[in-house]
Amino acid sequence: MNYENLLLDSIINIPDTLNSNNVEMFESIMNMVQAAIILVDPNAKDMPIVFVNDAFVKMTGYSKEDAIGKNARFLQGDFQNQTPKMELKKAISEQKSCEIEFKNYAKDGRAFYNLLNITPLFDKEGKLIYYIGVQFDITNSIEYRKITTIKRLSEGLTHEINTAMAPLKGHMEMLQYDIEAIDDEKTKEYMLDSLQSIQKSKKIIEEISSSLHYFSSTEHEDTQEVDILETINSSIIEYEEKLKLNEISLKIESEENITTHSERDALIHLWSILLDNSIDALIETQTNRAITIVVKKIKNTIQVTYKDNAKGINPEIQGDIFKALTKSKDYGGKGIGLFVAKAIVDNNNGNISFTTSQKGTNFTIELQIS
């Protein structure tokens, strides 16, 4: 048993530690514990918090004055209809311990997942005097479980998607040939429009499959010295028609001969995600659609910035933009592209960040120079 558990056991087993002579000692002990601690009075109306330690303040951003006197549910914000709440109520009614997970919100609005362990404290006569709650921020563990699940699903989905898509290209080419032979112009135009919609959907599915394949793959190509500008130009090739069709200008501002050690295909995929993201955002912009890619050296760092003049990213999702299944576009989106982009950057020991406003969005990648 570790030092923190010994301290907690001493408090649970000796409730009279809380008498007036030892309040300062109790506070000192609780402030030494790295886990967030709350003490709740079950005999007062609405079971208010009567004590929180320093770790609670650090985890939630709420001061001791903010928390004391309130019911602990205030940490749930507007997310109070949670299933674990019933388990907690049952444990309190039966005066038993329980351990549950809650989604909580820090003072700055940041959401985090809280593992709460509550234990009733009784005096020598067996009367319930307090509940002590031990809280842990397990957000990273939750995200890890999500990622692991996505990886397992991705391995199977990628194979199934590619198998199903394989014959589609041939069928679509044959269908276009047949449509061109139709004499009625209105019917031909309608069917060609429908075929174009199918082709767009096929492209999206292929992009999702490509991202899933990279994300789920445990074996990647060997790293090599890669020319950044060459990988950017390679990623642009498949988007030339889409840029032209949507009247989007593309400009590259780059110094020459900037290289890094990386997987070439991974970098091409990274640039493709950022370019595709900007193009889709710009489709909603009426005029003067433009993307600028700036590549420059800053000491030992390569900085690549994708700039667009679209309407910007929805403020509600900006904090989650690099998380799996967060859609970055109000008009749709695959919800995995930027998540994979960050995975590629992280794999290269780099950094990805963004700035956004109603005038546009900039995504900046920083990598090490070879």
pLDDT-based confidence at residue 23 (cuts at 50, 70, 90): low
Residue 197 CB-density burial (10 A; 0-12 exposed, 13-18 middle, 19+ buried): exposed
Nearest to 132 by CA among 141, 121, 147, 146: 121
Residue type, 245: L
Q: What is the per-residue pLDDT across 68-124, written as a single tens digit (0 to 9) for each?
A: 999 998 998 765 555 567 788 888 889 999 888 888 889 988 888 888 889 998 888
Give the alpha-carbon dihedral of 227, 271, 341, 159, to 10 degrees.
Answer: -100
Strand runs labelled E in 106-256 = 111-122, 128-137, 224-227, 249-254
pLDDT digits (tens, 9 = 90+) for 333-368: 445 678 888 888 887 888 999 999 988 999 999 998
Tell me the C-alpha to C-alpha distance, in Å, between residue 235 and each of 228, 238, 309, 335.
Answer: 11, 7, 20, 20
Q: How many CB atoms lie within 10 A of CB 252?
A: 13
Q: How does the average pLDDT of the chain come out, rounded?
A: 80
Lowest-pLDDT range, 60-64, 268-272, 284-288? 284-288
pLDDT digits (tens, 9 = 90+) for 49-62: 999 999 999 999 99
What DSSP element (H or E) covers 32? helix 23-32
Domain 221-370 adopts which CATH fold? Answer: Heat Shock Protein 90 (3.30.565)
**How far is Cα 262 from Cα 224, in angstroms, rounded to an integer?**
6
In angstroms, the CA 155 to CA 162 distance is: 11
Superfamily of domain 3-137: PAS domain (3.30.450.20)
Parallel, antiparallel, or unpaired for β 249-254 and 98-105? unpaired
**pLDDT-derived band at 40, boundaries 50, 70, 90:** very high
Global pTM value: 0.48
Computed over its alpha carbons, how large is the radius of gyration of the chain?
28
CA nearest 267: which of 238, 237, 234?
Answer: 234
Instruction: Give mean pLDDT, residues 34-47.
Output: 90
Q: Rounded to an integer, what distance in angstroms lies between the CA atom of residue 36 and that of residue 135?
A: 5
**Own/partner pairs for 166-173, CB < 8 Å, 24+ apart?**
168/202, 169/202, 172/198, 172/199, 172/202
CA angle in degrees (0–180, nearest 5) for 105-107-108: 95
Q: Is the pLDDT of residue 21 over 80?
A: no
Q: What is the residue extent of each domain of the chain? A: 3-137, 140-219, 221-370
Let me know if the fold of 3-137 is the same as that of 221-370.
Answer: no
Residue 218: per-residue pLDDT? 47
